[in-house]
């Protein structure tokens, strides 16, 4: 198994007629993902074509879901309209909305997050690379690729990866794959201050997933999401976990004013987060080159087989 | 995006937040007119730069204090002459300091007591938070550390907005008298409206003051805005002061490159913000010092790589360059061609280490090798980082 999505998952793409959305919808189709619908208001009835594959386009998310059974949407809508696109998924009771869009105003996300409370829909992102459950074909094809991650670097297996950053996720995945260690699901939760799904939400799903044997948790400075996840891991997670925090050298002067330091608390620096990781039994990757090895160290210490 | 104090106070006035009467001047010629608009008597002269610690700052010509109290307007005129066009160094500006290009005159108010008030996003709840304290005019980090009980926070539900009971909670925590409380309640309501309607990232008023006649005023104002929301606030964009920004950062933004200058000597060119941050980290890990953060983004073209090279080489401190690219979707060979073209165009004389990984990487490495240029190839991030650190050492 895997978390959030499986190779059977049917997905729609909001913004499929844009250059970026169209390109990545095509790459997902190539990967073997079931892209069953596109949504572009005003272009309902048209078709998105990629090779021999023809994807019907609808005016609304609700229509697309009703006609095709798509349960997940990928959002490539430009920033001024992206919050509305997410709310449309909530209204249509879509299971999972994955917002790739970078640059959504914080206030829009504050409102969206509040509006989503108690709703059926889970949001991943925004400003995230998406989520990949690798398949069994060559270069991990036949899996489900939602978003913009390179599919071919993956390999089907048993490590869960969760990160705020796209390229750091790829870095970790690639390190695993060249060591012949596969992944169950790789999740980018996005780099914005207000996002849908947290590190902890994903860690809980990995913990419950019998196919996930080990976890790589990649974080950054700012906020306390990594610390929250680490404390939960200490009390609840028996699987090996490796952690990395980016931004140890980020200049403090570039943080938001003085008041941010109070509200963020004392635990939002890289140093503080790494300290908490160690206290919680997470094997810390000393450098970004060390992420896969750190997980191997942790697995070995716990006597758990990763591949 | 940050704005100056005088701009922030003009914005406060638009929203009905009381501030001391003031007038800004952008050159010595404008001092007299600005001072004429203020009543006679004690006057404050405040250097306008985007950095804190102005009061305790020193000008490079030796003059002390970027914020001065003057008993008369005549004295204010002469003090302003010391500040304008001179460079002010504060704990937040770094040793280079900032040139003062605007001076702000305000009426010097009688202060009964100083308080602290700020509004910003609370990341753990994803709600706006209002922070208030009886300890104003001092470093709020210190208050948070030493006497956290003196800080009150209320979290504003974005579905309903700021409730009256929450304003009362803040007011009671500030231990104000009846008239002060009434005035402070109005001020907090209006300040919150200003925060919400302008897409501000943070508003900080330190100090907020009470006067002997029980008025409540924002004596200082620090406001920054969410840059993602500027597209819907042309009136805020108009307040941008390019003099306050690093010219290299402005140049980078033209090419959609995210660049932040640092004080080290190894320039970095990376794709992706997380990878760019960790590239800086790994340089430090192996004993080097990064000269910049530079994210060329996911869709790096040859033109972008060339522009990025020119920007990082514009920093005189740079002694070596580290290019770290994980080409997921992006073709590594396109990046390699961009690097080769850039090196040929700018005539590079510094050591350059390139670590390429990902899509079409073999062709990319071949392009670098065939170029005949002295480019050092790194196998992993760790390997490449060690190589560049050794080359500049």
Residues A174, A240, single domain; the answer is: yes
Question: Cβ distance B135 to B57 under 8 Å?
Answer: no
* Mean pLDDT along residues A172-182: 96
Residue B139 touches partner A, C-beta closer than 8 Å:
yes
| Residue-range definition of the domain harbouring residue A297 | 155-302
Q: Which of A124, A141, A173 is the last residue of a domain?
A: A124
What is the ipTM score, two decimals? 0.91
Residue A260 has pLDDT above 80, yes or no: no
Whole-number pLDDT of residue A264: 53
Q: Which residues contact B40 (CB under 8 A, 6 or more apart)?
A: B72, B73
* Mean pLDDT along residues B195-205: 97
A81: CATH: 3.40.50.720
Residues A53, A188, single domain; the answer is: no
Query: B196 and A107: CB-CB below 8 Å?
Result: yes
A297 in a structural domain? yes
- What are the φ/ψ torsions at residue A10 (nearest 5 degrees)? -95, 130
* Mean pLDDT along residues A100-121: 95
* Mean pLDDT along residues A67-82: 97
Residues A181, A227, single domain; the answer is: yes
A51 in a structural domain? yes
Q: Catalytic: B169?
A: no
pTM: 0.93
Q: Which residues from chain B sit within 8 angstroms of residue A104, using beta carbons?
A: 228
Whole-number pLDDT of residue B296: 87
Question: pLDDT (tens digit, 9 = 90+) per residue, B156-186?
Answer: 999 999 999 999 999 999 999 999 999 999 9
Residues A47, A182, single domain; the answer is: no
**pLDDT tier at A263, thresholds 50, 70, 90:** low
* Mean pLDDT along residues A23-50: 96
Residues A101, A24, single domain; the answer is: yes
Residue A261 touches partner B, C-beta closer than 8 Å:
yes
**Tokens at B6, concatenated:** 């005088």
Distance CA A238, CA A246 (A): 25
Residues A285, A170, single domain; the answer is: yes
Q: Which residues from chain B sit within 8 angstroms of residue A115, using beta carbons?
A: 159
Place of tokens 């695993």: A176
Residue B299 has pLDDT above 70, yes or no: no
Question: Cβ distance A159 to A122 under 8 Å?
Answer: no
Spacing of C-alpha B335 from chain mean position = 31
**Tokens at B247, concatenated:** 């010219």
Q: Which of A102, A124, A146 is the last residue of a domain?
A: A124
Whole-number pLDDT of residue A257: 41
Q: Where are the beta strands (DSSP E) in B179-263?
A: 200-210, 216-218, 222-225, 258-261
Among chain A residues, CA nearest to B285: A287
**CA of B78 to nearest chain A CA: how many angstroms apart?**
32
Distance CA A74, CA A25 (A): 9
A213: CATH: 3.40.50.261
Residues A116, A161, single domain; the answer is: no
Residue A118 touches partner B, C-beta closer than 8 Å:
no
Residue A261 has pLDDT above 80, yes or no: no
**CA of B75 to nearest chain A CA: how many angstroms apart?**
32
Residue A59 has pLDDT above 90, yes or no: yes
Question: pLDDT (tens digit, 9 = 90+) per residue, B52-71?
Answer: 889 999 999 999 999 999 99
* Mean pLDDT along residues A84-110: 96
**Tokens at B367, concatenated:** 């392009």
Residue A18 touches partner B, C-beta closer than 8 Å:
no
Whole-number pLDDT of residue B260: 87
Whole-number pLDDT of residue A258: 43
Tell me how many degrees the CA angle A119-B195-B173 measures, rounded to the nearest 5.
95
A181 in a structural domain? yes
In the set B180, B204, B337, B357, the catalytic residue is B204
Residue A113 has pLDDT above 60, yes or no: yes
Residue A92 has pLDDT above 90, yes or no: yes
Residues A169, A283, single domain; the answer is: yes
Residue B240 has pLDDT above 50, yes or no: yes
Residue A28 has pLDDT above 60, yes or no: yes
* Mean pLDDT along residues B364-392: 93
Whole-number pLDDT of residue B328: 76
Mean pLDDT over the full length of chain A: 93
Query: A248 and B284: CB-CB below 8 Å?
Result: yes
* Mean pLDDT along residues A212-222: 94
Report the range of poorest mean pLDDT among A222-236, A277-291, B203-217, B300-314. Answer: B300-314
Residue B206 touches partner A, C-beta closer than 8 Å:
yes
Q: Which residues from chain B sit within 8 angstroms of residue A108, using beta carbons?
A: 229
Residues A111, A21, single domain; the answer is: yes
Residues A181, A298, single domain; the answer is: yes
A145 in a structural domain? no
Among chain B residues, CA nearest to A251: B262
**pLDDT tier at A256, thresholds 50, 70, 90:** very low
A132 in a structural domain? no
Q: Catalytic: B116?
A: yes
Residues A108, A179, single domain; the answer is: no
* Mean pLDDT along residues B334-345: 88
Question: Cβ distance A121 to A90 under 8 Å?
Answer: yes
* Mean pLDDT along residues A199-215: 97
Furthest CA-CA distance within chain A = 57
Residue B260 touches partner A, C-beta closer than 8 Å:
yes
* B171-179, long-range: CB < 8 A, 24+ apart: B173/B132, B173/B134, B174/B115, B174/B132, B174/B134, B175/B134, B176/B210, B176/B216, B177/B214, B179/B214
Residues A184, A224, single domain; the answer is: yes
Q: Which of A74, A108, A124 is the last residue of a domain?
A: A124
* Mean pLDDT along residues A133-159: 95
For chain A, the domain total comes to 2
Q: Which of B157, B155, B154, B133 is nearest to B145 (CA)?
A: B133
Q: Which of B91, B92, B6, B94 is nearest to B47 (CA)?
A: B6
* Mean pLDDT along residues B275-282: 93
A205 in a structural domain? yes
Question: pLDDT (tens digit, 9 = 90+) per residue, B65-116?
Answer: 999 999 999 999 999 999 999 999 998 888 889 999 999 999 999 999 999 9
Whole-number pLDDT of residue A265: 56
Distance CA A208, CA B85 (A): 63
Question: Cβ distance B101 to B48 under 8 Å?
Answer: yes
A137 in a structural domain? no
A36 in a structural domain? yes
């Amino acid at each position: 198994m895997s978390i959030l999505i499986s190779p059977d998952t049917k997905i729609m793409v909001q913004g499929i007629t844009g250059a970026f959305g169209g390109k990545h919808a095509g790459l997902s189709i190539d990967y073997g993902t079931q892209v069953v619908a596109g949504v572009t208001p005003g272009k309902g009835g048209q078709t998105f074509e990629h090779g021999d594959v023809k994807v019907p386009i609808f005016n609304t998310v609700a229509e697309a879901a009703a006609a095709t059974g798509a349960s997940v949407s990928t959002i490539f809508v430009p920033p001024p309209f992206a919050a509305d696109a997410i709310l449309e998924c909530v209204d249509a009771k879509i299971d999972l909305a994955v917002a790739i869009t970078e640059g959504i105003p914080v206030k829009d996300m504050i409102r969206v997050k509040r509006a989503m409370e108690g709703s059926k829909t889970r949001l991943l992102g925004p400003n995230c690379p998406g989520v990949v459950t690798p398949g069994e074909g060559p270069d991990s094809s036949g899996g489900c690729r939602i978003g913009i991650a390179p599919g071919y670097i993956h390999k089907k297996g048993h490590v869960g990866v969760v990160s705020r950053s796209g390229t750091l996720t790829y870095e970790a995945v690639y390190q695993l794959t060249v060591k012949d260690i596969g992944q169950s699901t790789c999740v980018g939760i996005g780099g914005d201050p207000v996002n849908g799904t947290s590190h902890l939400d994903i860690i809980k799903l990995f913990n419950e997933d019998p196919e996930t044997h080990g976890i790589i948790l990649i974080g950054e400075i700012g906020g306390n999401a990594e610390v929250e996840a680490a404390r939960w891991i200490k009390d609840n997670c028996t699987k090996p976990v490796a952690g990395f925090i980016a931004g140890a050298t980020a200049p403090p002067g570039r943080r938001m004013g003085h008041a941010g330091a109070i509200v963020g608390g004392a635990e939002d620096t890289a140093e503080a987060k790494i300290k908490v990781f160690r206290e919680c039994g997470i094997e810390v990757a000393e450098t970004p080159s060390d992420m896969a090895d750190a997980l191997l160290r942790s697995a070995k210490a716990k006597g758990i087989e990763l591949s | 995006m940050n704005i100056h104090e005088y701009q922030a106070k003009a914005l406060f006035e638009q929203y009905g937040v009381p501030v001391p009467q003031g007038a800004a001047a952008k050159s010595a010629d404008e001092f007299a007119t600005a001072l004429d608009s203020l009543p006679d008597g004690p006057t404050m002269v405040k250097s306008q730069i985007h950095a804190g610690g102005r009061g305790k700052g020193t000008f490079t010509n030796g003059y002390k204090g970027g914020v001065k109290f003057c008993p008369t307007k005549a004295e204010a005129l002469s003090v302003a002459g010391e500040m304008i066009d001179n460079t002010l160094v504060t704990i937040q500006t770094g040793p280079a300091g900032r040139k003062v290009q605007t001076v702000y005159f305000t009426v010097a108010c009688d202060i009964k007591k100083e308080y602290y008030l700020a509004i910003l996003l609370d990341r753990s709840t994803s709600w706006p938070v209002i922070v208030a304290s009886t300890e104003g005019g001092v470093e709020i980090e210190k208050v948070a550390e030493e006497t956290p009980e003196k800080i009150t926070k209320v979290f504003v539900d974005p579905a309903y907005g700021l409730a009256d009971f929450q304003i009362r909670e803040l007011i009671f925590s500030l231990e104000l008298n009846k008239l002060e409380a009434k005035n402070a309640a109005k001020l907090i309501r209006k300040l919150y409206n200003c925060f919400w309607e302008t897409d501000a990232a943070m508003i900080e008023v330190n100090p907020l003051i009470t006067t002997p006649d029980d008025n409540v005023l924002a004596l200082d104002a620090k406001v920054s805005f969410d840059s993602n929301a500027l597209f819907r606030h042309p009136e805020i964009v108009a307040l941008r002061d390019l003099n306050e920004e690093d010219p290299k950062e402005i140049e980078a933004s033209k090419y959609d490159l995210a660049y932040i200058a640092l004080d080290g000597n190894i320039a970095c060119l990376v794709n992706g913000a997380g990878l760019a941050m960790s590239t800086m980290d790994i340089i430090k890990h192996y004993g080097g010092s990064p000269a910049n953060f530079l994210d060329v983004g996911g869709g790096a073209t040859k033109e972008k790589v060339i522009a990025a090279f020119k920007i990082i080489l514009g920093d005189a401190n740079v002694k070596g360059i580290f290019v770290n690219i994980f080409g997921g979707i992006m073709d590594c060979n396109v990046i390699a061609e961009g690097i080769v073209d850039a090196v040929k165009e700018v005539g590079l004389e510094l050591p350059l280490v390139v670590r390429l990984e990902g899509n079409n990487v073999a062709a990319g490495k071949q392009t670098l090798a065939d170029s005949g240029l002295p480019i050092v190839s790194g196998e992993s991030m760790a390997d490449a980082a060690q190589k560049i650190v050794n080359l500049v050492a």
